[in-house]
Amino acid sequence: MTNKMLIGNWKMEVGSRESVALARGALLALRGKKQLPEVVVCPSFPALADVRKVIARSHVSLGAQNVHHEEKGAFTGEVSARMLEEQGASFCLVGHSERRAMGETDAQVAKKVSELYAHGITPVLCVGETLAQRKSGISSQAVTNQLQSSLTGVSIRGRDRLCIAYEPIWAIGTGTPASPQDAVAMHDTIRQRIGILFPGLASSRLQVLYGGSIDATNAYRFLREPEVGGLLIGGASVHLSQFTKIIAEAADVLEGLSHA
Ligand code: 13P
């Protein structure tokens, strides 16, 4: 069955009160829809507990925006995968370009992925080329290399899922998304590379998403592409009307596909 996944990355934009309101909005947007997209909301750490209460027993899942790569220890200010598990997170973003820009390395990202799996949390690994790489025509190579080194030493077992978010750095927060055609081409590249890295991973356990300047006006053009497994949404996901419109659109696309 086709699945479309929508992940709201609320970054450091909203606190608990607004996060709760957005989560309620997501629930309302799904109400009455026949085909439900998989919605994941990623509030800031302090808002996780409040949002968890709102989405309990619903079709909306809880995600975190980051995790530390070590299991535990004297790491002031950091949050471990075990702590996220305790908070009820079932997803966690890793390797977001905004974190890589702060010095996060591929090796750390790979350790984070393994830590998350050890605690039953699905990683959403973010990859994407810079503008300079795009201009040099090496986008595919850059993304492939990033996948390879961000997943070194990672093993994926049994029922584990893997989400890869293709987020071209030049498209994040700029108002200029990739074209759906470019996104589709990169999704194919990503699927191929993951197939080589993890030959045992069933395609139904791999979700490839697009992120970067998605809003309510352009989401549909991506969602309707069968290769696009969903969207990772930043700025538009903290605007209730935009976020709920995108959720409703994803539900409609799924409804259309179910009749196709
Ligand atoms: P924008 O949707 O604001 O471009 O951000 C994308 C992003 O970084 C999601 O993780």
Give the CATH number, domain containing residue 246: 3.20.20.70
pLDDT(1) > 80: no
pLDDT(22) > 80: yes
Pick the closest to residue 255 from 216, 224, 233 (CA basis). 224
- The pLDDT tens digits for 123-175 are 999 999 999 999 999 999 999 999 999 999 999 998 999 999 999 999 999 99
What is the reported pTM? 0.97
What is the extent of the structural domain holding 114? 5-70+77-258
DSSP state letter for 175: S
- The pLDDT tens digits for 60-118 are 999 999 999 999 999 999 999 999 999 999 999 999 999 999 999 999 999 999 999 99
Tally of domains within the chain:
1
Q: CB-based burial of residue 217 (10 Å sphere; 0-12 exposed, 13-18 middle, 19+ buried)?
A: exposed
Is the CB of residue 37 below 6 angstroms from any atom belonging to ligand 1? no
> Ligand 1 atom closest to Cα of 233?
2
> Ligand 1 atom closest to Cα of 11?
10
Is the CB of residue 29 below 6 angstroms from any atom belonging to ligand 1? no
- The pLDDT tens digits for 103-115 are 999 999 999 999 9
For the segment 46-55, the average pLDDT, to the nearest whole number, is 98
Average per-residue pLDDT for the chain: 97
Instruction: Report the alpha-carbon distance of residue 122 to residue 157 in Å, rounded.
Output: 12
Distance (Å) from CA 10 to ligand 1 centroid: 9
Q: CB-based burial of residue 202 (10 Å sphere; 0-12 exposed, 13-18 middle, 19+ buried)?
A: exposed
Query: What percent of the chain is modeled with pLDDT above 90?
Result: 97
User: What local confidence, expressed as pLDDT, does residue 259 receive?
Assistant: 84
Choose which residue among 40, 94, 124, 167 to substitute to test ligand 1 binding: the one with the highest number of ligand atoms within 8 A of its C-beta: 167
> Ligand 1 atom closest to Cα of 173?
4
Distance (Å) from CA 213 to ligand 1 centroid: 6
pLDDT(56) > 90: yes
> Ligand 1 atom closest to Cα of 174?
4
Is the CB of residue 127 below 6 angstroms from any atom belonging to ligand 1? no
For the segment 14-43, the average pLDDT, to the nearest whole number, is 96
User: What local confidence, expressed as pLDDT, does residue 158 receive?
Assistant: 87
pLDDT confidence of 218, banded at 50, 70, 90?
very high
Distance (Å) from CA 174 to ligand 1 centroid: 9
For the segment 32-37, the average pLDDT, to the nearest whole number, is 93
Cα 185–189–191 angle (5° rounding)?
115
Is the CB of residue 176 below 6 angstroms from any atom belonging to ligand 1? no
- The pLDDT tens digits for 195-212 are 999 999 999 999 999 999
Choose which residue among 126, 215, 232 to substitute to test ligand 1 binding: the one with the highest number of ligand atoms within 8 A of its C-beta: 232
Query: What percent of the chain is modeled with pLDDT above 70?
Result: 100
Instruction: Report the alpha-carbon distance of residue 214 to residue 222 in Å, rounded.
Output: 9
Is the CB of residue 63 below 6 angstroms from any atom belonging to ligand 1? no
